[in-house]
Structure 1
Amino acid sequence: MKNTLVFSKNPVTLVGGGDVGAEDIELALGLAPEMVAADGGAANVLDAGHMPFAVIGDFDSIAPTERARIPQDRQFVIHEQASTDFDKALRSISAPVVLAVGFLGGRVDHQLAAFNVLVRHADRPCILIGVHELVFHIPEKLDLDLAPGDVVSLYPMAPVTGRSSGLEWPIDGLTMAPDGQIGTSNRALGPVSLRMEGPGMLGIVPRSVLRHVMQAIAKTVSVPAAP
Structure 2
Amino acid sequence: MYQTLLILFVALAITWATDYNALIEDQGIYVQCSEAPAGSLGPHDGFNLDNMEMNMEPEGIYVSGNMTVKLNFSLSDRISARFSVMHYERGTWQPTMFNLHSANFCEVMFDEDQYWFKYWFKHIRNREEVREKCLKVKDTVLVYNEFLMVLQLENVNTSNLQGRYKAVITLEAFDEHDVRRPTSFCVEIRGDLERFQRCYICVQDTTPLQTV
The answer to whether TM tops 0.5 is: no
TM-score, structure 2 normalization: 0.26
| Higher helix proportion (structure 1 or 2) | 1
TM-score, structure 1 normalization: 0.25
Bigger Rg, which one? 2
